[in-house]
Structure 1
Amino acid sequence: MTQLEAVIFDLDGTLVDSARDLQNAMNALLAGEGLRSVSLEEVKSMIGDGVAKLVERALAATGGDPARLPALVDHFLAIYDTNAANHTEAYPGVLDTLESLRRLGLQLAVVTNKPCSATTEILRALGLRAFFSAVIGGDTLPERKPHPAPILMALDRLGVSPGAALMVGDNYHDVQAARAAGVRVFAVTYGYNHKPLTELAADQLLDTMSDLVPSIGIGIAAEDLLR
């Protein structure tokens, strides 16, 4: 197995819990349409495939007009972009894990289906932006996960081959994109997964982000982990 050189992370449900801010923005949008609010659990079940899919699922759940989708996507972005980090928090163990990976000399990237502007705002607000040499959003390319193109773009920017990288995500689209890109993939069990964990077919499941470094620790000297 090729020596690990880079770790690519999904954002929502993997590095950060953004559901509350997404719920607030969605409910502001729905209120303007005269539709009912959606619960936090409903929003969590809708996250992961980009903004258009999120809004589409919310409209379907609340009886909204699907013909309004293009306009409502733009409206949602206008609401969310300025409120993306009000209640969003990094999951436990994320900061320490990123610091450990950086000390070990691994390159780091984010590949998410969230638009770049909101992604960058969240990473900056949480003090995480400096860890990542590449950030690929859902609007960086015409394709989004589960297409492999965003992961391949991240690898190109990092100068790392697929065999020397690991993807860490929380959902089926992360696993599918990584497989298609030829990248190993771990899945966290605490995120917004839309399928049973047993069906994700990831190489390994992580119950917390703190499990990541020990899971890739083969061949890493103990003094490096503690340095």
Structure 2
Amino acid sequence: MRCVIFDLDGTLADTSADLIASANYCFNALGYGDVLDPIKDASTAFHGGRAMLNLGFGRVKPDFDQTDIDTQYPVLLQAYGDAINVHTKLYDGAVEAIEGLKSAGYAVGVCTNKPSGLAENLLQKLGVRDLFASMIGADTLPVRKPDPAPYEAAVEQAGGTLAMSYLVGDTITDRKTAAAAGVPCALVTFGPDGEAVRALKPEALLSSYADLARVTKELIG
């Protein structure tokens, strides 16, 4: 079965503001105030909690070390889990486009580097969990993207065929994951990195979910 696997943050939904807020919760508790900007630092948000903490500590505590990150990371996750869907929105047209794929006989799933519990919670709150036949998170397997195993597991769990699948994502991590799995990759240009993803030379660019059916047909038939 032909199969399309989607990244979550920055691909299906703009989660950046809620992610940044969770990091700022940590910095506020430490007395630094709001260190990160929800707009200017949106791109870093999609590289995960540790990336946000590294960026923030670099601004307010130049001598920070890994202990600072390790101490605050679970605090960040808790804060994010408590307010996971305050500002988060699905990208325009995502639901309709994915429903169209399913109606056309494609299997669909999610492969994300967000911890699986948080990913499941967010998809439920957004009302779209039932759209996806698979959901593989950062901690579902011992490895995470860009290792190809999570992607391969997402395809298998969805009932798809690896050789007839592709990954929709928004970062170099997704590009590397697809390459490692030997499948095409479509990168969205409406994420935080915008047209800059063109430099990663994906097999396709997705400027709008209105183009998903066409891109899918071009990549896997």
Q: Please report the TM-score for the alignment, with normalisation by the length of structure 1.
A: 0.88
RMSD after superposition: 2.3
Equivalent position of 2:53 in the other structure: 55
Equivalent position of 2:7 in the other structure: 10
Candidates 2, 16, 19, aligned match of 1:19: 16
CA, structure 1 residues 33+213, in 2 after alignment: closer, same or farther (shift >3 Å)?
A: same
1:71 partner amino acid: T
Equivalent position of 1:224 in the other structure: none
| Mapped contact 2:156–2:162 kept (Cα < 8 A) | no
Distance 2:194 2:50 in 1: 17
| Mapped contact 1:111–1:135 kept (Cα < 8 A) | yes
Equivalent position of 1:31 in the other structure: 28
Percent identity over paired residues = 31
| Mapped contact 1:85–1:121 kept (Cα < 8 A) | no
Equivalent position of 1:106 in the other structure: 106
1:59 partner amino acid: F
2:27 aligns to what SS in structure 1? helix
2:135 aligns to what SS in structure 1? strand
Structure 1 residue 219: Cα displacement: 11
Equivalent position of 1:70 in the other structure: 70
Q: Establish whether residue 193 from structure 1 lines up as the match of residue 193 from structure 2.
A: yes
Equivalent position of 1:139 in the other structure: 139
Further displaced range: 118-127 or 167-176: 118-127
2:39 aligns to what SS in structure 1? helix
CA, structure 1 residues 144+219, in 2 after alignment: closer, same or farther (shift >3 Å)?
A: closer
Equivalent position of 1:125 in the other structure: 125
Unaligned runs of 5+ in 1: 222-227
Q: Establish whether residue 204 from structure 1 lines up as the match of residue 201 from structure 2.
A: no
Give CA deviations for 1:69-100 in whole Å, capped at 9, x if unaligned: 11100110111112111111100010111110
1:117 aligns to what SS in structure 2? helix
2:75 aligns to what SS in structure 1? helix
1:111 partner amino acid: C
Distance 2:110 2:169 in 1: 10
Give CA deviations for 1:102-134 in whole Å, capped at 9, x if unaligned: 111211111111111221121111111001111
Give CA deviations for 1:118-172 in whole Å, capped at 9, x if unaligned: 2112111111100111111112223221221210111222343321101000111
Unaligned runs of 5+ in 2: none
| Mapped contact 1:5–1:106 kept (Cα < 8 A) | yes
Further displaced range: 156-165 or 15-24: 156-165
Aligned residues: 218
